[in-house]
Amino acid sequence: MARRNNRKRRPEPPGPSGFLVVDKPSGMTSHDVVDAARKWLGTRRVGHLGTLDPQATGVLPLAIRAATKLIPFIEGGAKGYDGTIILGSETDTLDHEGDFTSRFEGTLPDRETVEKALAEFTGDVQQVPPMYSAVKKDGVPLHKLARQGKEVERDPKWITIESIEMTRFESPELDVRVLCSAGTYVRVLAADLGKAVGCGAHLGGLRRTRSGPFVLEEAKTFERIEAAVERGGLEDLLVSPEEALGFPVLELNRDQRIRLVNGGDIPAGELHNRKPGTRVSVLGEGGDFLAVGEIRADHRLWPLRVLPLEG
């Protein structure tokens, strides 16, 4: 019988917690970016807030160290995308990475027809997840089944498309700007548009411009991040937990801190008039992030998630 390796992993040295907003380059998976960040920061505790397809670029927020505990309070926010849709052809992956499955030989629709069809996709709509996706069927990711040449029935899911703006029309291409709920596939939107106008379509390119509170303007390229690593300034690129969460902030004294980190409630201080259910970012005397709290009906603050101490 093989002997079990009972060696414990050496504890990581303490380091800064927060969120690193990466401008993901094309050709990398979201997990590839997580692996790179683990090397940059010297920690295994890195998680991303929402997968981006390998060929897509743009906003990929990463939670670092203790901030990984805050992901449930941030994920699920609105997403923004700039995409290019190509009319007249369909692919098996619904984007330009796949093999062509059909080509339209007739006259392509004009701008007015496409704009009218796009407008029908705003609001609450149903999407069928694509076969080439991380959605699971009976515990197996759909993309694995697709690569085996299998196609299975998928349940449609409700998503919300808040707005779609056509920013360019040069047939057969058009550019769109989309603001939508988490879980929306712009690839599916492209394919569904193609069906609606009768010529087929697929997604030519995609750039995420927003993910919850994080926007493209604050996303950092690999080159900028690696330069910061070399000069020892990567911490300066992190977004603080309280800034990312956007909750009201309450700073505690030493005695309140001890009570809170041990699961006790505390007075809500200047926030005592906030309505019950209000979530609060709780800081220590030195401004370090301690916890997410919630104001209850008794107007006291109760801890929802206390972050582990670093060091």
Verify that 116 and 197 share a domain, yes or no: yes
286 pLDDT tier (thresholds 50, 70, 90): confident
* Residues 108, 87 contacting (CB under 8 angstroms): yes
Verify that 84 and 156 share a domain, yes or no: yes
For residue 156 the two structure tokens come to 């449609």
Helix (H) or strand (E) holding 279: strand 279-283
Strands 249-251 and 279-283: parallel
Residue 287 is assigned to a structural domain of this protein: yes
Pairwise CA distance, residues 32 & 240, whole Å:
23
Residue 5 is assigned to a structural domain of this protein: no
Q: Which residues pair with residue 124 across a beta bridge? A: 160
Residue 138 bears catalytic tag: no
Residue of 23, 35, 53, 288 marked active site: 53
3 state SS for 189-236: HHHHHHHHHCCCEEEEEEEEEEECCEEHHHCECHHHHHHHHHHCCHHH
Q: How many domains does the chain have?
A: 3
Q: Which domain holds residue 171?
A: 79-211
Residue 9 is assigned to a structural domain of this protein: no
Reported as a single tens digit per residue, the pLDDT across 76-97 is 889 999 999 999 999 999 999 9
Verify that 37 and 146 share a domain, yes or no: no
Q: Is the pLDDT at 287 greater than 50, yes or no?
A: yes
Reported as a single tens digit per residue, the pLDDT across 59-79 is 999 999 999 999 999 988 899
Q: Which pTM was predicted?
A: 0.89
CATH label of the domain that carries residue 256 = 2.30.130.10
Q: Which residues pair with residue 79 across a beta bridge? A: 180, 211
Alpha carbon separation from 266 to 131, 255, 274 (Å, rounded): 50, 10, 15
CATH label of the domain that carries residue 60 = 3.30.2350.10
